[in-house]
Chains A and B, each alone.
Chain A
Amino acid sequence: MTSMQFGLFTVGDVTPDPTNGTTPTEHERIKNTITIAKKAEEIGLDVFATGEHHNPPFVPSSPTTTLAYIAAQTEKLILSTSTTLITTNDPVKIAEDYATLQHLSDGRMDLMLGRGNTAPVYPWFGYDGAKAVELTVEHYHLLRRLWDEDVVTWEGKFRTPLQGFTATPRPLDGVAPFVWHANIRTPEVAELAAYYGDGFFANNIFWPKEHYIRLINFYRQRYAHYGHGTEEQAIVGLGGQFYIRKNSQDAVREFRPYFDNAPVYGHGPSLESFSTQTPLTVGSPQHFVEKTLAFADYFGDYQRQLFLVDHAGLPLKLVLEQLDELGEVLPTLRAEFDARRPATVPDAPTHAARVAAKVAAASTPAEPVGVDA
């Protein structure tokens, strides 16, 4: 495994192709997601992450089902989420679903927690959207205990109390799945990630970098505050989005109708001004490499870079072509990032490395060996 991980993240939206008005069926969209994930492994990516939503126009309501299906058809790919809803899911079910996925995938998984919901979603699961941050904090503290302690007795505000409860299966090799916390605006979530020494992920696709720099710097400071390492050793992941062609004019011409009608930023700023202000790269592979490398200048050296490719109604054919383009520049990206990273910056987390660290910690004496022989 390389020191930095590259991969894809998908929202799982069913969006009409604005160039011809066709919309994939839910069945097609779900199957396309599998095709894209397998392609990710084929071009040498490390990670595939799926979103979780419970309302149209999104299809991925059952992430661990989808990820287990992908795990069975891949060899190296790490399966993850973007994001798992810590607010509206029962922490007990998260603990059990993802521990099961961990066993099935032989540790090739982690997960990214997020709030990720619009207000109407919360009541469907019996919660109040105004309590989103409180739900996140309470649910995550419980999830940690369900993985880290074999028998849990717990009482909180939002969930039925637990008496002598054991979440099954227990985590693979006694090491819980690595957790990333996705965050775009809430310092409490950065605090939670820092408290536990978890990873922190900024989706980095909607807004100018200054917005994310502030939160990531805060997470790094708090990570160091809690004694997990130095600020530069905090575990950071970033999103990004691109559309690349050898000839940059082709990239702009092909992507513009998708940009202009995209659900998030469509009908607003021009492709040119949005690309200038946000990490979106539409142009040549060289331009893409330069802009992506600059992320480390803004946010510090980091561990995981995920790209959003299958969005805005792009048909499967174009998505797969974009992944071929990405595959061609991936070795350059890896080499350039590795060349600039100081040795003191930790590698991206993997299950194998975390098991090794646990074994090493267990074999280290708690106190220095005495010399009073």
Chain B
Amino acid sequence: MILASASNVVVWIVWFVAASACIASAIGVVSLRNPFFSALALIGNLGSLAVLYLLLSAEFVAAAQVLVYAGAVMVMFLFVIAYLGGQADAPFAGRRGWQTTGAIVATTAILVEIIVAIGTTTGGSLSHEASITSAFGSPAEIGRLFLTDHLLAFEVTSIVLLAAAVGGVILGHHSRSISGIDDDARA
């Protein structure tokens, strides 16, 4: 019993550190001036999310998060930011006052709404987790689900990735510029 409560405290501490790192780095992504630092803050965000996934016993998703997201996707981001020169811009300048007010009101409203929705259900069904076996979230279990119950999602994902790859090639292709559109946007 004492052992169980001690490990409970440890899990709470790990959760608290990971969750605060998550929120702090998310604020960093939104508010830092330099896009390069924003991307680095997003890597921190994805890493601490992977810790939260581990606490929720989603081992395979945590590994995929670190490898695919914090690894491959963010490297692509950093390459593009380096290619563009990473100009710093004033984070919240250039918006009209009503736009800023509206954005803050809208996001606060959705946050309060979700928190209230969680709070009203938290005493009941949300506090009793179903018990799981050690296979839950393991690569074998994920693979079994993907190839049996969710085969359609698996195949559709491959088509989505193919379409994205073709789109990336077409967008990156050096095509002649359509002068009218460019002049309009530059004006």
Q: Do A and B come from one complex?
A: no
The residues of B with any CB-CB pair to A shorter than 8 Å are none
The residues of A with any CB-CB pair to B shorter than 8 Å are none
